[in-house]
Amino acid sequence: MTGKKDLLAVLDFYLVTDSGLSKKGTLSDVQEAVAAGCRIVQYREKNKSTKEMVAEASQIKSICGADAIFLVNDRIDVALAVDADGVHIGQEDMPIDIARAILGADKIIGLTVHNISEAIEAERSGADYVGLSPIFDTATKSDAGTGIGTERIKDVKNAINIPVVAIGGINKQNCRSVIENGADSLVAISAVVCSDDVKRETQELIAVIKSASGRI
Ligand code: TZP
Ligand code: MG
Protein backbone atom coordinates (compact mmCIF):
# COMPACT_ATOMS: atom_id res chain seq x y z
CA MET A 1 0.00 0.00 0.00
CA THR A 2 -0.77 2.99 -0.49
CA GLY A 3 -1.34 6.61 0.06
CA LYS A 4 -4.73 5.64 1.33
CA LYS A 5 -3.99 6.56 4.94
CA ASP A 6 -4.07 10.16 3.74
CA LEU A 7 -7.75 9.71 2.93
CA LEU A 8 -8.46 9.29 6.66
CA ALA A 9 -7.97 13.04 7.05
CA VAL A 10 -10.78 13.86 4.63
CA LEU A 11 -13.47 11.34 5.46
CA ASP A 12 -17.13 12.21 5.45
CA PHE A 13 -19.60 9.34 4.98
CA TYR A 14 -18.28 5.88 5.91
CA LEU A 15 -20.14 2.83 4.50
CA VAL A 16 -20.42 -0.33 6.61
CA THR A 17 -22.04 -3.24 4.77
CA ASP A 18 -24.78 -5.44 6.20
CA SER A 19 -26.02 -8.25 3.97
CA GLY A 20 -28.78 -9.10 6.46
CA LEU A 21 -30.36 -5.65 6.15
CA SER A 22 -29.45 -4.76 2.58
CA LYS A 23 -32.24 -4.42 0.02
CA LYS A 24 -30.12 -4.91 -3.07
CA GLY A 25 -27.11 -6.78 -1.76
CA THR A 26 -23.68 -5.83 -0.49
CA LEU A 27 -21.95 -5.45 -3.85
CA SER A 28 -24.70 -3.19 -5.17
CA ASP A 29 -24.56 -1.10 -1.97
CA VAL A 30 -20.79 -0.67 -2.27
CA GLN A 31 -21.03 0.22 -5.95
CA GLU A 32 -23.71 2.82 -5.37
CA ALA A 33 -22.06 4.36 -2.31
CA VAL A 34 -18.68 4.67 -4.05
CA ALA A 35 -20.39 6.14 -7.12
CA ALA A 36 -21.99 8.69 -4.77
CA GLY A 37 -18.57 9.74 -3.47
CA CYS A 38 -18.08 7.53 -0.41
CA ARG A 39 -14.34 7.18 0.26
CA ILE A 40 -14.28 4.40 2.88
CA VAL A 41 -15.98 1.02 2.92
CA GLN A 42 -15.96 -1.57 5.70
CA TYR A 43 -16.98 -5.10 4.74
CA ARG A 44 -18.89 -6.35 7.78
CA GLU A 45 -20.22 -9.85 7.18
CA LYS A 46 -21.44 -12.14 9.91
CA ASN A 47 -23.33 -14.80 7.93
CA LYS A 48 -21.06 -16.10 5.18
CA SER A 49 -18.34 -18.72 5.00
CA THR A 50 -14.71 -17.66 4.86
CA LYS A 51 -14.59 -18.81 1.25
CA GLU A 52 -17.58 -16.67 0.32
CA MET A 53 -16.13 -13.74 2.23
CA VAL A 54 -12.78 -13.90 0.44
CA ALA A 55 -14.55 -13.92 -2.94
CA GLU A 56 -16.83 -11.03 -2.01
CA ALA A 57 -14.03 -9.04 -0.38
CA SER A 58 -12.00 -9.32 -3.54
CA GLN A 59 -14.90 -7.88 -5.57
CA ILE A 60 -15.38 -5.05 -3.08
CA LYS A 61 -11.67 -4.27 -3.29
CA SER A 62 -11.95 -3.80 -7.04
CA ILE A 63 -15.00 -1.57 -6.70
CA CYS A 64 -13.13 0.60 -4.18
CA GLY A 65 -10.10 0.79 -6.48
CA ALA A 66 -7.80 3.68 -5.76
CA ASP A 67 -10.62 6.00 -4.70
CA ALA A 68 -11.91 4.44 -1.51
CA ILE A 69 -10.30 2.82 1.51
CA PHE A 70 -11.36 -0.82 1.84
CA LEU A 71 -11.41 -2.35 5.33
CA VAL A 72 -12.59 -5.72 6.61
CA ASN A 73 -14.46 -5.97 9.91
CA ASP A 74 -12.86 -8.33 12.48
CA ARG A 75 -11.33 -10.75 9.99
CA ILE A 76 -7.62 -10.03 9.69
CA ASP A 77 -7.20 -13.26 7.71
CA VAL A 78 -9.71 -12.12 5.09
CA ALA A 79 -8.08 -8.67 4.94
CA LEU A 80 -4.68 -10.27 4.32
CA ALA A 81 -6.09 -12.75 1.81
CA VAL A 82 -7.29 -9.96 -0.49
CA ASP A 83 -4.68 -7.35 0.48
CA ALA A 84 -7.33 -4.98 1.81
CA ASP A 85 -6.26 -1.55 3.05
CA GLY A 86 -6.83 -2.65 6.64
CA VAL A 87 -9.28 -3.79 9.28
CA HIS A 88 -11.81 -2.49 11.74
CA ILE A 89 -11.77 -4.32 15.05
CA GLY A 90 -13.63 -4.17 18.35
CA GLN A 91 -12.59 -4.23 21.99
CA GLU A 92 -13.13 -8.01 22.10
CA ASP A 93 -11.29 -8.80 18.85
CA MET A 94 -7.57 -9.28 18.17
CA PRO A 95 -5.54 -6.99 20.48
CA ILE A 96 -4.42 -4.02 18.44
CA ASP A 97 -0.68 -4.47 18.98
CA ILE A 98 -0.92 -8.03 17.64
CA ALA A 99 -3.11 -6.88 14.73
CA ARG A 100 -0.48 -4.26 13.92
CA ALA A 101 2.33 -6.80 14.07
CA ILE A 102 0.44 -9.05 11.66
CA LEU A 103 -0.66 -6.32 9.25
CA GLY A 104 2.37 -4.03 9.28
CA ALA A 105 2.71 -0.28 9.61
CA ASP A 106 1.12 0.68 6.30
CA LYS A 107 -2.27 -0.90 6.87
CA ILE A 108 -5.14 0.98 8.44
CA ILE A 109 -6.52 -0.25 11.77
CA GLY A 110 -9.73 1.21 13.17
CA LEU A 111 -10.90 0.37 16.68
CA THR A 112 -14.36 0.64 18.20
CA VAL A 113 -14.40 2.62 21.45
CA HIS A 114 -17.19 3.58 23.81
CA ASN A 115 -15.64 6.27 25.99
CA ILE A 116 -12.67 8.60 26.48
CA SER A 117 -10.39 6.10 28.20
CA GLU A 118 -10.81 3.50 25.45
CA ALA A 119 -10.19 6.23 22.86
CA ILE A 120 -6.96 7.38 24.52
CA GLU A 121 -5.80 3.78 24.78
CA ALA A 122 -6.71 3.18 21.12
CA GLU A 123 -4.51 6.07 20.00
CA ARG A 124 -1.68 5.03 22.31
CA SER A 125 -1.71 1.50 20.96
CA GLY A 126 -1.53 2.65 17.34
CA ALA A 127 -5.09 2.79 15.99
CA ASP A 128 -5.42 4.98 12.90
CA TYR A 129 -8.95 6.09 13.82
CA VAL A 130 -11.63 5.25 16.38
CA GLY A 131 -15.24 4.28 15.77
CA LEU A 132 -17.22 5.83 18.65
CA SER A 133 -20.24 3.67 19.47
CA PRO A 134 -23.20 3.88 19.81
CA ILE A 135 -24.17 7.55 19.48
CA PHE A 136 -27.90 6.73 19.53
CA ASP A 137 -29.80 3.55 20.37
CA THR A 138 -29.81 1.15 17.41
CA ALA A 139 -31.51 -2.11 16.52
CA THR A 140 -28.81 -2.97 13.96
CA LYS A 141 -26.33 -4.35 16.54
CA SER A 142 -28.08 -6.15 19.37
CA ASP A 143 -25.22 -5.76 21.86
CA ALA A 144 -24.36 -2.15 21.00
CA GLY A 145 -25.67 -0.80 24.30
CA THR A 146 -27.44 2.47 25.02
CA GLY A 147 -26.73 5.58 22.97
CA ILE A 148 -24.13 7.86 24.55
CA GLY A 149 -25.53 11.02 22.91
CA THR A 150 -23.84 13.63 20.77
CA GLU A 151 -22.26 15.60 23.65
CA ARG A 152 -19.83 12.76 24.37
CA ILE A 153 -18.41 13.03 20.84
CA LYS A 154 -16.76 16.38 21.70
CA ASP A 155 -15.13 14.92 24.80
CA VAL A 156 -13.61 12.03 22.83
CA LYS A 157 -12.57 14.29 19.93
CA ASN A 158 -10.79 16.65 22.33
CA ALA A 159 -8.94 13.79 24.03
CA ILE A 160 -7.24 12.29 20.96
CA ASN A 161 -5.50 13.25 17.73
CA ILE A 162 -6.82 10.57 15.40
CA PRO A 163 -10.11 10.77 13.46
CA VAL A 164 -13.36 10.02 15.29
CA VAL A 165 -15.97 8.12 13.26
CA ALA A 166 -19.42 8.12 14.88
CA ILE A 167 -21.70 5.07 14.60
CA GLY A 168 -25.04 3.89 15.92
CA GLY A 169 -28.55 5.07 15.09
CA ILE A 170 -27.40 7.82 12.74
CA ASN A 171 -29.59 8.97 9.86
CA LYS A 172 -30.19 11.99 7.62
CA GLN A 173 -32.21 13.71 10.32
CA ASN A 174 -29.65 13.54 13.11
CA CYS A 175 -26.34 13.43 11.21
CA ARG A 176 -25.81 17.20 11.24
CA SER A 177 -25.67 17.28 15.04
CA VAL A 178 -23.19 14.37 15.04
CA ILE A 179 -20.75 16.32 12.87
CA GLU A 180 -21.40 19.62 14.65
CA ASN A 181 -20.50 17.90 17.91
CA GLY A 182 -17.06 16.93 16.64
CA ALA A 183 -17.22 13.69 14.64
CA ASP A 184 -14.91 13.68 11.63
CA SER A 185 -17.00 11.10 9.83
CA LEU A 186 -20.04 8.92 10.42
CA VAL A 187 -21.53 5.55 9.63
CA ALA A 188 -25.23 5.03 8.94
CA ILE A 189 -25.97 1.37 8.17
CA SER A 190 -29.73 0.84 8.16
CA ALA A 191 -30.46 4.39 6.98
CA VAL A 192 -28.46 3.63 3.85
CA VAL A 193 -28.66 -0.08 3.03
CA CYS A 194 -32.39 -0.30 3.77
CA SER A 195 -33.18 2.60 1.46
CA ASP A 196 -34.52 2.14 -2.06
CA ASP A 197 -31.81 4.34 -3.52
CA VAL A 198 -28.45 3.83 -1.82
CA LYS A 199 -26.70 6.22 -4.17
CA ARG A 200 -29.09 9.08 -3.52
CA GLU A 201 -29.15 8.44 0.23
CA THR A 202 -25.33 8.47 0.31
CA GLN A 203 -25.15 11.67 -1.75
CA GLU A 204 -27.60 13.37 0.57
CA LEU A 205 -25.71 12.27 3.69
CA ILE A 206 -22.41 13.44 2.20
CA ALA A 207 -23.96 16.83 1.40
CA VAL A 208 -25.16 17.31 4.98
CA ILE A 209 -21.85 16.14 6.44
CA LYS A 210 -19.81 18.47 4.22
CA SER A 211 -22.08 21.38 5.02
CA ALA A 212 -22.05 20.68 8.77
CA SER A 213 -18.26 20.37 8.83
CA GLY A 214 -17.69 23.47 6.73
CA ARG A 215 -15.97 21.33 4.09
CA ILE A 216 -18.47 22.24 1.39
N1 TZP B 1 -21.41 -0.91 15.75
C2 TZP B 1 -21.87 -0.10 16.68
S3 TZP B 1 -23.47 0.39 16.42
C4 TZP B 1 -23.51 -0.53 14.97
C5 TZP B 1 -22.31 -1.17 14.78
C6 TZP B 1 -21.96 -2.04 13.67
C7 TZP B 1 -24.73 -0.60 14.11
C8 TZP B 1 -25.02 0.70 13.42
O9 TZP B 1 -26.10 0.53 12.55
P10 TZP B 1 -27.18 1.67 12.30
O11 TZP B 1 -28.22 0.99 11.44
O12 TZP B 1 -26.49 2.75 11.54
O13 TZP B 1 -27.71 2.11 13.62
MG1 MG C 1 -15.84 -6.92 15.94
Confidence band of 1 (pLDDT split at 50, 70, 90): very low
Contact 181, 150 (CB under 8 A): yes
Confidence band of 214 (pLDDT split at 50, 70, 90): confident
Say if pTM beats, i.e. exceeds, 0.95: yes
Which ligand has its closest atom nearest to the C-alpha of 46?
A: 2
Which ligand has its closest atom nearest to the C-alpha of 178?
A: 1
ipTM: 0.98
Pick from 150, 216, 139: nearest CA to 186: 150
How far does the centroid of ligand 2 lie from the alpha carbon of residue 150, in Å? Answer: 23
Confidence band of 2 (pLDDT split at 50, 70, 90): low
Contact 180, 157 (CB under 8 A): no
Residue range 11-45, pLDDT digits in tens: 999 999 999 999 999 999 999 999 999 999 999 99
User: Which amino acids bring their CB within 6 angstroms of ligand 1?
Assistant: 16, 133-134, 138, 140-141, 144, 167-170, 187-190
What average pLDDT score do residues 120-137 get?
Answer: 98
Which ligand 1 atom sits closest to the C-alpha of 188?
12
